Amino acid sequence: MLISRKIIKILWITFYGSLLYNIFLNLNSSFAQDVPLRVSESVDSVIADLKYYIPDRMNESEVPGLAIALIRNNQIIWTEGFGVTNRLTGSPVSSKTVFEVASISKVVTAYIALRLVEEGKLSIDKPVHNYLKKPWLPPSDFADKITLRHLLSHSSGLGDDVLFNNKSIMFEPGTDFLYSGFGAEYVRELIEQVTDESIEDIAREKVFKLLNMTSSSFINETGVMNLMANGHMRYLMISMFFLFPFIGIVVIVGIITLILNRLIKRRWHLAMQLKIGAGVFAFILSELLLYIFLGKPFPNIIWMTILFALVFFVFLFLLYVFIQRMISLIEPLRKKKVLKATIKILLMIVSIVVFLKITNSYTGPVPKNHSDVASAIGSLRSTAPDLATFLIELSNPRYLSEDIASQIDSVQVNINQDFSWGLGIGIQHSSQGDAIWQNANTFAFRGIMVIYPHDGHGVVVLTNSESGLPVAYDVAGRALGGKAKWIFF
């Protein structure tokens, strides 16, 4: 189990490393700009500029689809879709297209918690364990000190290692900042225990129906999924999800099989049946491990790894047959077993590298994620107009008292001179004033929502591509003006 955890950790690190590389490789110079807000420009002028800019920026980064909702004076003034929901089908993106919106789930969850504070069911500053019917964190020096304020401002000390259910508290609550997926999950657990309802049901009551967000859901609600875009990824990432655990397991299984074969049959050479059996066993175990760690929240990724594995094995088989045939035609190699074996191995390695290079060069659609696991970390699906409606409420709340509402965009914990965190959402400081924001990053979707509460000047940009975050950032910066330099979480 320890080995499997290490394999999955390496896989996870590889994914995030590739994600960061992809993001920073595509950074645009507009990130560093600090220009006036576009509030004084006519709406028609801004929209015309965006209609010209967006397709070019999408083509530049090969982003297949994008949806935008522009906010002026706390009103949605323009929504539109660009590109396609799926490169294979060519269906166009519209303002009604649903995207996975990842960490924006945390902000919606935070708002629900504040609604419960408003109703007297929770407190911002009392330790949250007092509201739980059953403990959620293991006992520790700091577990009973965590408040809702700590959780919503990412200052609880909880980390982001949700893959291995790591509930360790890294520092005393309230003393530092650490972006925390587990903190959001703790809020979800708190909400569900206090209300005796699922996060989906309480979100419908406190957010979706109230704000007429008709295309939003934490689970795979049928009406929402029918409008959903397919995410797009480099297929190399899918291959790595399978190959990392498979190679590790096949090496271990191969060594054990060799030793057993030597002990039982007193020879090192493995029969073809044993080789095939070891490979099949490694394949099954690899997929089982992936299912344990990723299967419930991301069943679409599991299906993609299975499909890749089948294509990969067929490729290996045909390649092996081809190499065998070609070498058999070369007379000088027939009796030189060592040289023949060396050439076979080298050709196999070169061919596999070429195969992986091809998968890295192609970005294509992945199946829709039909997971029923509701998560405050990132299971929300929504549209640009729905999120714009929510963002307007967040910047100028109608359903929260003035005292609670004023704390949403007030500094709860400092990150640096440009950034801090409020109650549930990030704050960017600049000469144009404070903007509240949250980005969205999941396997095959990227986006951002941002608004200047003082001016009611905001935008939501959603894309269906793993390379879409720089594009979303640039489009948001182009739409708003100001300091488009949001950080990555």
Q: CATH fold of 24-129+214-231+373-483, please?
A: Beta-lactamase (3.40.710)
pTM equals 0.88
Query: For residues 163 and 290, what is the distance between their CA atoms, to the nearest angstrom?
Result: 11
Token representation of residue 353: 């590298």
pLDDT at 439 over 90: yes
The whole-number pLDDT of residue 30 equals 41
What are the extents of the domains in the chain? 24-129+214-231+373-483, 232-365
**pLDDT per position as a tens digit, 347-361:** 888 888 888 888 888
Binning pLDDT at 50, 70 and 90, where does residue 3 land?
very low
Binning pLDDT at 50, 70 and 90, where does residue 330 land?
confident
pLDDT at 20 over 50: no
Query: For residues 115 and 478, what is the distance between their CA atoms, to the nearest angstrom?
Result: 33
Scan for tokens 């918690």, then name that residue: 113
**pLDDT per position as a tens digit, 255-307:** 888 887 778 777 777 777 777 888 888 899 999 988 888 888 889 989 999 99
Per residue in 185-224, is it b (16+ CB within 10 Å) or e — as a string?
Answer: bbbbbbbbebbeeebbebbbebbbeebebbbbbbbbbeeb
Q: Is 377 helix (H, G, I), strand (E, B) or coil?
A: coil
Query: For residues 219 and 402, what is the distance between their CA atoms, to the nearest angstrom?
Result: 32
- What's the chain's average pLDDT? 88
Task: Report the Cα–Cα distance between both ends of the chain, in Å, rounded.
Answer: 29
Number of CB atoms found within 10 A of residue 25's CB? 10
The whole-number pLDDT of residue 25 equals 41
pLDDT at 155 over 50: yes
